[in-house]
A and B are shown apart, each in its own frame.
Chain A
């Protein structure tokens, strides 16, 4: 009974002392008071020698119990202090997370580059090679070998920037067809695309004297107009959306036979009819066709054995559609406020 009273008193005293503890220093003092050299628990253990031998074992047990109790209480208090101190420290480090961040400088990729890369990726994934022909090319490669004989309207100097009698700024990316075929001579199949700058002598609200074209050429055995259609359907869907439909209309180009104009469902109204498509629901986007046998022959391919298809859209308007650009001149003006809007990835 006595021991119980004594133990309760000690614990009660300890708890009283601990209640006043604020710092680790206070706790050290309390610890000394109970467990130190002349602490309460130490004094209690000095009494051991006064305890009769037969009771020593039990007294030892009692003593140990108190020691553990005291130690645990002090330890708990210690943990509490650490916790509070940490809390106080963190609290002191509180910041306003709504203040502006530190950014690195932001750059951007030009919309035309983006469209070119998107198309390149599509065609590379289908095994096409991307070729980059020269921007200055010969009359021979740009016209004659594409079955545009002398005197043909498309060769008019009013359309083309000539540099001298033989050289000119390419008015289309089609010389890439000639160059690729001549480099491969009867090796098949051939699949290339050629994105690049082209130059023509017109400049008005909807035309720029420099723009981007994206030539495509496939040569092999049994390459047909249906292959062309399927390929352009993929092209149009990729660039203009999955719902886009493609329509072929017969037309005439000297380098292809049969030739067609290719329309896509209007990218503004989706085919319902609007001012952009003049209520027809369709927009003409490119010329294409089956490579003319003369073109194949002049570049070293036997037209009896091989056929091919070619297409060559100007792609500035695709960029205009994709990014809602209303004036083609913005593409070449490089207003910083325009460029900076391209500082993020495209939506998938």
Chain B
């Protein structure tokens, strides 16, 4: 909402400059985007062209001598309409105009000491100007005094504050509403005396011939007045200038008056060419697929959510949003039907979102004060009579279902202080309500506040408390902490520790977008889940919610690889999303990806499967699942290498996958794992209980078996463990040596201990030999270098 401070001063005295006003409004909650003079130009003066001759070296330039009062300046001018005797706007050397600074200069050999200005050069947007104002310099009327301020002369000495209002303050979408707010800030009275509503009426009562039907709940108030014999012409200067300052293009007196009233009072009006109506108007909801050509000449297809104005069954306008082409005011229009109405804000909002957002629809959406609806139509008649020579027909067509009772809200002083957390003196509270022009009645410890109808945003106590807070000054609130019982706060420590463990294991945490491409959704899934897709994605890139976080990490990999970064070790923890039996599901997941190599001093070690396995095991062991999980090849997604990958099983249930990326998916050596953290944490872990440290020595024995390549280390280990019994405390595989294409040597270190006594070498040898024979028999193998 652009506020013309000049317009504002019709209703309230503003004791500060425009910048201070803007800041003071911000303090009470009305932010502004900009605060500027309407004409952001300096050093301008009215001049009279005393002489005007052709430039000796140009066919379109003129050399002029201009009297600016205290001196005479030679100025070169390129405008075609410059001539001797006219009054002009002179920018003196040193003048700041939007985009340029005027300097003394030499134009093709002739000295020029300033510039004769066109209006757009002063900063008025060309869209507000007539053709001749754009093509030539501004020629002032003869009564302009040489040497005086042309901005003031042109009635353009205005300052404009562009507010970004909160959506509850529909009342501030009018100059009058602004005046009440400003009046409350500075404790000034608001005068509505400039809103003249008197006019004379003639002819038969409109209600005798005109029929209005309202067939919808979406229109609680509809007023219409008939105005005859209007003379369409240019608006008076003050209306044009105020419209321009408010960002509205002047068109002609009739259109301008409807806009002027909307700016002044906040009530949008609509004018129909009365001769097209056949004495009937009806307000109703549109029929499904009903057609209407709006005044922008577009045929619109309507829905029952749209409110239309119709005449004799045919839609002639989209209520609150846009008029119809057929009933539009043209230059030939003589008789006008003025509509001043209130429509359902939600319905208008839906329609305008689809069709057009306008100054009018914006006001309907925010809600209107029915008193203004009446005031506006009268004010409009007054202006039309004054500036369009209109004859106002007797009577007003009226449909009114609005509630006329004022809102009365009782509020306890104590409640105000409790909510704000400060003691606002009672006198101060009353003063604030008075300055807002709310009526207050004091009753012991409370006030009975009557809220004027213009403040549609206020309906409960808390709204009144906000008013007190706004005007008492939120800066006066001194911060304190809530007085509440002490208790420890809770948070999910496990989630946090998982992240820190992963970082500790050498992985960089990633944070990626949960929305991915639809094509990426099935990646790393075996039984592909039902995807969750947003209804109207912004881009294909972000259309579906990810289930596997590995899709994201693969994208991170590709991004970095494309930048020559090959050594990548990353993880991400976050929700995976899917649908199950029609229900949306979220599952906390953890994914990890490594690729490339890492350097250990002078040695460069390429990552392989055992690195990712180590990370997985360290992670699971850290969470307390040591010895409870296993890697089993069951069902692998096709994105994983079939012979370097596995399913991760914990307590008999699959919790994730681990392995190498299938070269068909990405040919680089990439190793990944992903687990469902939710599934994992369903398995409870016992706390740490320290076991007694044996006082007796341990005995270690090494043995290597020559095994067929297809025998798995885990199977041999399990068998050794079975054979070793309870004295065998630890089995470590400390060497692998590939002897031939089908034979390998696997070396084990076995550690024996009895916490109750010292073991003898003989009894250890006895178990050791039993293990060797057992393994040799079971796996049909031999001990190496026996």
In the complex, residue of chain B having the shortest beta-carbon distance to the beta carbon of A292: B462
Contact assessment for B482 and A227 in the assembled complex, using a CB-CB cutoff below 8 Å? yes
Contact assessment for A225 and B419 in the assembled complex, using a CB-CB cutoff below 8 Å? yes
Within 8 A of B (CB), among A190-230: 191, 197, 199, 201, 203, 209-210, 218, 220, 222-227, 229-230
In the complex, residue of chain A having the shortest beta-carbon distance to the beta carbon of B500: A109
Contact assessment for B474 and A260 in the assembled complex, using a CB-CB cutoff below 8 Å? yes
Report Cα–Cα, A101/B599, bound state, in Å: 10
Chain B residues with CB under 8 Å of A161's CB are 515, 534-537
Chain A residues with CB under 8 Å of B491's CB are 120, 124, 129-130
Which one of A1-9, A52-60, A163-171 is at the interface? A163-171
In the complex, residue of chain B having the shortest beta-carbon distance to the beta carbon of A149: B346
Which one of A39-47, A63-71, A80-88, A335-343 is at the interface? A335-343
Chain A residues with CB under 8 Å of B535's CB are 157, 161-164
Q: Mark A122-161, 1 if CB is under 8 A from B, else 0.
A: 0111111110101110000000000000111100110001
Contact assessment for A337 and B565 in the assembled complex, using a CB-CB cutoff below 8 Å? yes
Known contacts A233-B479, A249-B474, A105 near B515 by CB under 8 Å:
no
Contact assessment for B489 and A126 in the assembled complex, using a CB-CB cutoff below 8 Å? yes
Contact assessment for B509 and A251 in the assembled complex, using a CB-CB cutoff below 8 Å? no
Query: B463 an interface residue at 8 Å Cβ cutoff?
Result: yes
Contact assessment for A229 and B511 in the assembled complex, using a CB-CB cutoff below 8 Å? no
Report Cα–Cα, A53/B707, bound state, in Å: 86
Chain B residues with CB under 8 Å of A61's CB are none
Contact assessment for B584 and A339 in the assembled complex, using a CB-CB cutoff below 8 Å? no
Contact assessment for B511 and A126 in the assembled complex, using a CB-CB cutoff below 8 Å? no
Contact assessment for A107 and B502 in the assembled complex, using a CB-CB cutoff below 8 Å? yes
Known contacts A124-B489, A191-B484, A151 near B29 by CB under 8 Å:
no
Query: A178 an interface residue at 8 Å Cβ cutoff?
Result: no
Contact assessment for B487 and A135 in the assembled complex, using a CB-CB cutoff below 8 Å? no
Contact assessment for A250 and B463 in the assembled complex, using a CB-CB cutoff below 8 Å? no
Tell me, rounded to whole Å, the shortest Cβ–Cβ distance linking A305 to chain B: 12
In the complex, residue of chain B having the shortest beta-carbon distance to the beta carbon of A192: B489
Tell me, rounded to whole Å, the shortest Cβ–Cβ distance linking B637 to chain A: 23
Tell me, rounded to whole Å, the shortest Cβ–Cβ distance linking A238 to chain B: 13
Report Cα–Cα, A334/B168, bound state, in Å: 41
Contact assessment for A224 and B420 in the assembled complex, using a CB-CB cutoff below 8 Å? yes
Tell me, rounded to whole Å, the shortest Cβ–Cβ distance linking A223 to chain B: 6
In the complex, residue of chain B having the shortest beta-carbon distance to the beta carbon of A150: B346
Partner of B480 from A99, A135, A201, A226 at Cβ < 8 Å: A226
Report Cα–Cα, A127/B571, bound state, in Å: 31
Query: B510 an interface residue at 8 Å Cβ cutoff?
Result: yes
Known contacts A136-B586, A225-B474, A250-B28, A126 near B481 by CB under 8 Å:
yes
Tell me, rounded to whole Å, the shortest Cβ–Cβ distance linking B497 to chain A: 11
Report Cα–Cα, A258/B472, bound state, in Å: 13
Contact assessment for B490 and A130 in the assembled complex, using a CB-CB cutoff below 8 Å? yes
Which one of A28-36, A110-118, A269-277 is at the interface? A110-118
Within 8 A of B (CB), among A243-262: 246-252, 257-261
Tell me, rounded to whole Å, the shortest Cβ–Cβ distance linking B712 to chain A: 28
Contact assessment for A107 and B505 in the assembled complex, using a CB-CB cutoff below 8 Å? yes
In the complex, residue of chain B having the shortest beta-carbon distance to the beta carbon of A120: B491
Chain A residues with CB under 8 Å of B503's CB are 107-109
Query: B737 an interface residue at 8 Å Cβ cutoff?
Result: no
Q: Mark B455-481, 1 if CB is under 8 A from A, else 0.
A: 001001111011001100011011111
Contact assessment for B419 and A224 in the assembled complex, using a CB-CB cutoff below 8 Å? yes
Chain B residues with CB under 8 Å of A307's CB are 418-419
Report Cα–Cα, A339/B563, bound state, in Å: 14
In the complex, residue of chain A having the shortest beta-carbon distance to the beta carbon of B507: A107
Task: Give the size of the chain A interface in residues (CB under 8 angstroms).
Answer: 89
Report Cα–Cα, A333/B478, bound state, in Å: 41
Interface residues of A, dominant DSSP? mixed
Known contacts A252-B167, A292-B462, A107 near B508 by CB under 8 Å:
yes
Contact assessment for B538 and A191 in the assembled complex, using a CB-CB cutoff below 8 Å? no
Tell me, rounded to whole Å, the shortest Cβ–Cβ distance linking B535 to chain A: 5
Chain B residues with CB under 8 Å of A335's CB are 559-560, 563, 565
Within 8 A of B (CB), among A319-348: 331-337, 339-340, 342-343
Chain A residues with CB under 8 Å of B484's CB are 127, 189, 191, 218, 220
Report Cα–Cα, A233/B477, bound state, in Å: 12
Chain A residues with CB under 8 Å of B560's CB are 334-336
Chain B residues with CB under 8 Å of A125's CB are 489
Contact assessment for B460 and A293 in the assembled complex, using a CB-CB cutoff below 8 Å? yes
Total number of A-B contacts with CB less than 8 angstroms? 245
Contact assessment for B536 and A157 in the assembled complex, using a CB-CB cutoff below 8 Å? yes
Query: A232 an interface residue at 8 Å Cβ cutoff?
Result: yes
Query: A89 an interface residue at 8 Å Cβ cutoff?
Result: no
Contact assessment for A229 and B479 in the assembled complex, using a CB-CB cutoff below 8 Å? yes
Chain A residues with CB under 8 Å of B601's CB are 99-102
Query: B699 an interface residue at 8 Å Cβ cutoff?
Result: no
Query: B485 an interface residue at 8 Å Cβ cutoff?
Result: yes
Tell me, rounded to whole Å, the shortest Cβ–Cβ distance linking A210 to chain B: 5
Query: B228 an interface residue at 8 Å Cβ cutoff?
Result: no
Chain A residues with CB under 8 Å of B726's CB are none
Query: B345 an interface residue at 8 Å Cβ cutoff?
Result: yes
Partner of A108 from B485, B509, B545, B567 at Cβ < 8 Å: B509
Chain B residues with CB under 8 Å of A203's CB are 538
Chain A residues with CB under 8 Å of B559's CB are 333-335
Contact assessment for B508 and A249 in the assembled complex, using a CB-CB cutoff below 8 Å? no
Tell me, rounded to whole Å, the shortest Cβ–Cβ distance linking A260 to chain B: 6
Report Cα–Cα, A30/B418, bound state, in Å: 101
Query: A38 an interface residue at 8 Å Cβ cutoff?
Result: no
Query: A103 an interface residue at 8 Å Cβ cutoff?
Result: yes
Partner of A210 from B474, B475, B515 at Cβ < 8 Å: B515
Tell me, rounded to whole Å, the shortest Cβ–Cβ distance linking B316 to chain A: 25
Report Cα–Cα, A192/B488, bound state, in Å: 12
In the complex, residue of chain B having the shortest beta-carbon distance to the beta carbon of A165: B535
Most buried by A among B420, B466, B577: B466
Tell me, rounded to whole Å, the shortest Cβ–Cβ distance linking A216 to chain B: 11
Tell me, rounded to whole Å, the shortest Cβ–Cβ distance linking B601 to chain A: 5
Report Cα–Cα, A103/B601, bound state, in Å: 7
Chain B residues with CB under 8 Å of A234's CB are 481
Partner of A230 from B466, B470, B481, B499 at Cβ < 8 Å: B481
Query: A290 an interface residue at 8 Å Cβ cutoff?
Result: yes
Chain A residues with CB under 8 Å of B542's CB are 209
Contact assessment for A132 and B492 in the assembled complex, using a CB-CB cutoff below 8 Å? yes
Contact assessment for B421 and A135 in the assembled complex, using a CB-CB cutoff below 8 Å? no
Q: Give me 19 other A-B pairs in contact (C-beta within 8 A), A107-B509, A117-B496, A162-B535 excluded.
A: A102-B601, A107-B503, A107-B569, A113-B499, A124-B490, A124-B491, A127-B489, A135-B514, A135-B575, A153-B349, A169-B534, A197-B574, A226-B479, A250-B469, A251-B31, A252-B169, A257-B462, A336-B565, A340-B508
Q: List 6 A-B contacts (CB under 8 A).
A: A101-B601, A110-B510, A135-B577, A224-B419, A250-B28, A293-B462
Chain A residues proximal to chain B, CB less than 8 Å: 99-110, 112-113, 117, 120, 123-130, 132, 134-136, 150-153, 156-157, 161-164, 167, 169, 189, 191, 197, 199, 201, 203, 209-210, 218, 220, 222-227, 229-234, 246-252, 257-261, 290, 292-293, 307, 331-337, 339-340, 342-343
Chain B residues proximal to chain A, CB less than 8 Å: 26-29, 31, 166-169, 345-346, 349-350, 353, 418-422, 457, 460-463, 465-466, 469-470, 474-475, 477-492, 496, 499-500, 502-515, 532-538, 542, 545, 556, 559-560, 563, 565, 567-571, 574-575, 577, 584, 586, 598, 600-602
A-B pairs, top 4 by smallest CB distance, nearest first, are A226-B421, A105-B506, A224-B421, A151-B346
